[in-house]
Chains A and B, each alone.
Chain A
Amino acid sequence: MTDIRDAQMVGRTSDGRLVQRPLSGHLTVYINFDMVMSVGHRVTGCAIAVGTIVMVWFLVALAAGDARYATVSWFLRTPIGYLCLFGWTAALWYHYCVGIRHLIWDTGRMYDLPAVDRSRIVILGATAALTVLTWVIALS
């Protein structure tokens, strides 16, 4: 034993032998799709937080008059503006759907793995559907 950390991992079997206990599963176990979705909930939350700046800009410009409103309208119609709007729409609906699942989880329901497998598909499908629907309505 050359490392002090190894000493912390010595255990005894039921017959009294000293053995090296295994490492915890760590990242090889925990990196899975549901973990990515959980991180995604936080990432989209932060992205929407940045998006609120444009929401406030929109409202302030609307209150400030025609000229200011024309500026924000122009920005949102540039390619970057459309990209931001599309990203925020997708992020918003994703955060919305995962948030609903969090509220359901808070009641103690749908915690078992088969339910998580189903809700994951519902969330991804609903996010895509709501994003497409939003843009179909906006552009029609």
Chain B
Amino acid sequence: MADAKGLKIDTMRSYLGRARGLGASKSGVHHWWMQRLTSLALLPLTLWFVWSLTHLAGLPYATAHAWAGRPINVILLLALIAATFEHMHLGVGVVAEDYIHTKWIQSTVVVAVKAASALLALAAFVAVLKLAAG
């Protein structure tokens, strides 16, 4: 059986009837889900980072350098950087999509935000790994 556009229809069930009950679309929720996952990760990581910084404030360079070189701090810093910049480009990207109405400016800003997030994350990764190496 074919519809007016010549498309073959295998079943008499409507598209809605077939889609119902299958759960949320798979990759369609990726943005929403990553925003939540990264926010959950950032709850403890932010507490730890701010706590650490308040204790490093005013201490000499060698102390701060030694702190950043400890393996546990290296791991947590890398996790913090990954979660922060993933959360950041998702969030700022949505703000750009909501408030910039000229399409090409909007696309440019969204791409620029993603590029800046990626470059900042990479710079921070390299710095932390260098600190880890001593």
Contacts and interface: CB of A to CB of B under 8 A. Distances in A.
Interface of A: 42, 45-46, 48-49, 52-53, 55-56, 59-60, 62-64, 66, 69-70, 89, 92, 96, 99-100, 102-103, 106, 134, 137-139
A138 B54 contact: yes
Contacts of B130: 63
Contacts of A138: 53-54, 57
Nearest to B40: A103
Interface string B67-101: 01000000001000000110010011001000000
A64 B123 CA distance: 12
Q: In the A-B complex, list the 9 residue pairs whose CB atoms are closest, starting with the nearest.
A: A138-B54, A63-B127, A59-B127, A63-B130, A137-B54, A60-B127, A138-B57, A56-B124, A66-B61
In the complex, which of the residues A56, A89, A137 has the most CB atoms of chain B within 10 Å of its own CB atom?
Answer: A56
**Size bracket of the B interface:** 20 to 34
A103 B36 contact: yes
Given A46-B95, A92-B46, A96-B43, A62 B120 contact: no
Contacts of B54: 134, 137-138
Interface of B: 36, 39-40, 43, 46, 50-51, 53-55, 57, 61, 64-65, 68, 77, 84-85, 88, 91-92, 95, 120, 123-124, 126-128, 130-131
Given A59-B127, A106-B36, 20 more contacts: A46-B95, A49-B88, A52-B84, A52-B85, A52-B88, A59-B77, A59-B128, A59-B131, A62-B127, A63-B126, A63-B127, A63-B128, A64-B127, A69-B64, A92-B46, A92-B50, A137-B54, A138-B54, A138-B57, A139-B57
Contacts of A60: 123-124, 126-127
A66 B91 CA distance: 35
A53 B53 CA distance: 16
17 contacts: A45-B95, A55-B124, A56-B123, A56-B124, A59-B68, A59-B123, A62-B61, A62-B131, A63-B127, A92-B46, A100-B43, A102-B39, A103-B39, A134-B50, A134-B54, A137-B51, A137-B54
Interface class of chain A by DSSP:
helix
Nearest to A57: B123
B114 to A, nearest CB: 12
Q: Which of A46, A63, A138 has the most CB of B within 10 A?
A: A63
Contacts of B55: 137
